[in-house]
Structure 1
């Protein structure tokens, strides 16, 4: 089962959690008070880079019948679409730049270059996902309604197609995100009427039509006799954007260490525990400046979930302080290379195509599914936490997880 008692799982006392909450509040306050012209220059430069790449790519594709032009134009357009979706659309619509009071860079007016209508995305993502992050049964991003990513999701025969659904979702990710607001899980359970679904699909259909007209009609027509080559370039650029966006999002939510939670945990949650859930339910991947930019700074998914409306260019700075808090409270900071995080994610998706009876480990102590009960499954594993009166050192979740791994090695 997922985590029901986050205090016990994190090995923190109530006083610890209250103190941790105050420290996160202090980080937010410091960043909000220090926002200024350097941050504004950053986002304006990002917009300029994106628009230059998009315009340049479109221009080069006027000669798309020439292979070098096709490759260069497709690459430029693919990069432009990635930047627009990740660093611009996603972050602007989170309200990260609303403090600038610039109507062009505001969450209320931005419409991004993808098939998902911004009005629906801001509800399903900003409100539902970020409020109920990784709460099984409340957060639709736990499996996107088609994937089984935790043993808390009851196995059904159609879960055998998990790896296939994963491939299709990555390939057509923009359409998967667009359909996310339909809430297929609620439809299957009869909690959402077909009339409501039809209303959602009508809005989605309009946006899909606009995107298709732009990429597969208007710009190809402008390239004259080369229109067929331009269409293939635009299709390829969209696939490039889809796969990259999919990989970044999945690596931030489904590697080992990105924990899941129950509704019971949420019922007793305050702001400090909300912070703690965001930190334990997210994962980062290591990235340099260029990869951070191309991922919309979502290589810092932990920091983004802690502070979704703070400027993305400050996540690296925030990350230093978050790591310090993890050290102070003996908490894990889940990160790794992009390849490592994705391989763990894909292993989970492939493994959970099978019913629990065919899997090793337990529903309380598996790499992708854990609860506070995992610390009771091995003899010799301590369950106490807090400050050790003898050593004066804190014994928190990071130490408890290490002891659990060591106990398993000894048994094996």
Structure 2
């Protein structure tokens, strides 16, 4: 099963978790107090740059009969759409810039250039996903209801095709997310399936009409005889944006180390435990300034889940303090290169397409799904009391927590594998004589 007791899994005491929460609250207060002109100027510059890029791309496509103009226009349009969705639409809709009190850059009024209506996306993403992050049965974004991303979900024959389904979701990501948000909104509002003209359905239909009309009809039509060339350029830009956003989102939630949780973990959850669940349930990928910007700063997915309403341009400096806190508490800070994180995510998609009987590890001790039970047979080295996991090592004085426990578990697994291999080798040698 997934994690049911986060305190036991993280090897932190109640006082440890309270201290952990207090330090993160301090980070929040420090950032909130320092927000000002520099941050406001950042978001207005991004909005201006994004609009200039889109106008430039649309203008180039008027000469799209020439291949260089088509390629340049398509590439620039894809960049403009990525910036609008990830650094602007996603982050503004989280309320990251509401403190400016600017009605044009406010979560209540911004409608992004994406197929899902902002109102529906904010309900499913902001209020459900960010509250119940990676809680199986409660977070609808855990596999988007179609991909099996944890062994807690029973295997079904349809999962055999989930690698192909993942490719389809990536290619049509904005439409898949829109339908997903619509379904969750309908279910949350108690709308019966037979009500075909419900409010959520009308909202989705209007947004679909707007997006299809704008990108696949109106703008291509404005270029006259270049209609088909412009149409293909717009479709290509949408495809690039969809593929890129899929990669970024998946790398932040499903590589090894991004843990899953059971609903039982939510019972009596404190602020500190919520912070801890966000930290353990997400993952970062390493990025320089350009890659960070093009990912909407979601290369800092950990920081985003800890502080979803703080401005994205502050995540890099927040990350330094969060990483330092993880070192202090001996908690893993899950990160890696973008290719590595995407490879691990893709491996999980392919691996969990198979029935559990074909998988070697258990649901309590697998790279993509683990629980506090994985430590039952593991003892820490250099301790006087192996049952006392949290606190400082009584011999070395070093902080002892989840990182130490995970290292001990890996060492125990390697030792067990070596013993099995040695015993099998002895049997094979004896069997030949």
Unaligned runs of 5+ in 1: none
Kindly state the Cα deviation for residue 270 of structure 1 after the two structures are TM-superposed: 1.0
Kindly state the Cα deviation for residue 203 of structure 1 after the two structures are TM-superposed: 1.6
* Partners of 2:182 and 2:204 within 8 A in 1: no
RMSD of equivalent CA atoms: 1.6
TM-score (norm 1): 0.96
Which runs of structure 1 show a deviation greater than 3 angstroms over 4 or more consecutive aligned residues?
Answer: 182-187, 195-198, 377-383
Kindly state the Cα deviation for residue 196 of structure 1 after the two structures are TM-superposed: 6.2
How many angstroms apart in 2 are the aligned matches of 1:308 and 1:58? 33
Residue correspondence of structure 1 range 111-260 to structure 2 within 5 A: 111-183=111-183, 193-195=192-194, 199=198, 200-260=200-260
* Partners of 1:147 and 1:159 within 8 A in 2: yes
| Worse-matched range after superposition: 286-295 or 178-187 | 178-187
2:392 corresponds, among 382, 387, 396, to 387
- 2:407 corresponds in structure 1 to 402
* Partners of 1:97 and 1:105 within 8 A in 2: yes
Unaligned runs of 5+ in 2: 418-433
Q: How many residues are paired up?
A: 409
How many angstroms apart in 2 are the aligned matches of 1:74 and 1:216? 14
Which of the two has higher C-alpha Rg?
2
- 2:311 corresponds in structure 1 to 311
How many angstroms apart in 2 are the aligned matches of 1:221 and 1:3? 54
- 2:323 corresponds in structure 1 to 323
TM-score (norm 2): 0.92
- 1:277 corresponds in structure 2 to 277
How many angstroms apart in 2 are the aligned matches of 1:8 and 1:252? 24
Change (3 A) 1:85 1:197: farther
How many angstroms apart in 2 are the aligned matches of 1:254 and 1:17? 24
How many angstroms apart in 2 are the aligned matches of 1:33 and 1:3? 35
- 1:67 corresponds in structure 2 to 67
How many angstroms apart in 2 are the aligned matches of 1:395 and 1:193? 52
* Partners of 2:120 and 2:182 within 8 A in 1: no
* Partners of 2:378 and 2:408 within 8 A in 1: no
Kindly state the Cα deviation for residue 341 of structure 1 after the two structures are TM-superposed: 0.2
* Partners of 1:182 and 1:197 within 8 A in 2: no
How many angstroms apart in 2 are the aligned matches of 1:114 and 1:217? 16
How many angstroms apart in 2 are the aligned matches of 1:196 and 1:340? 45
| Worse-matched range after superposition: 375-384 or 218-227 | 375-384
Please tell me whether residue 349 in structure 1 is matched to residue 349 in structure 2.
yes
Please tell me whether residue 295 in structure 1 is matched to residue 295 in structure 2.
yes
Secondary structure (helix, strand or coil) at the match of 2:130 reads helix
Kindly state the Cα deviation for residue 49 of structure 1 after the two structures are TM-superposed: 1.2
Kindly state the Cα deviation for residue 182 of structure 1 after the two structures are TM-superposed: 3.4
How many angstroms apart in 2 are the aligned matches of 1:198 and 1:330? 53
Please tell me whether residue 366 in structure 1 is matched to residue 371 in structure 2.
no
* Partners of 2:124 and 2:185 within 8 A in 1: no
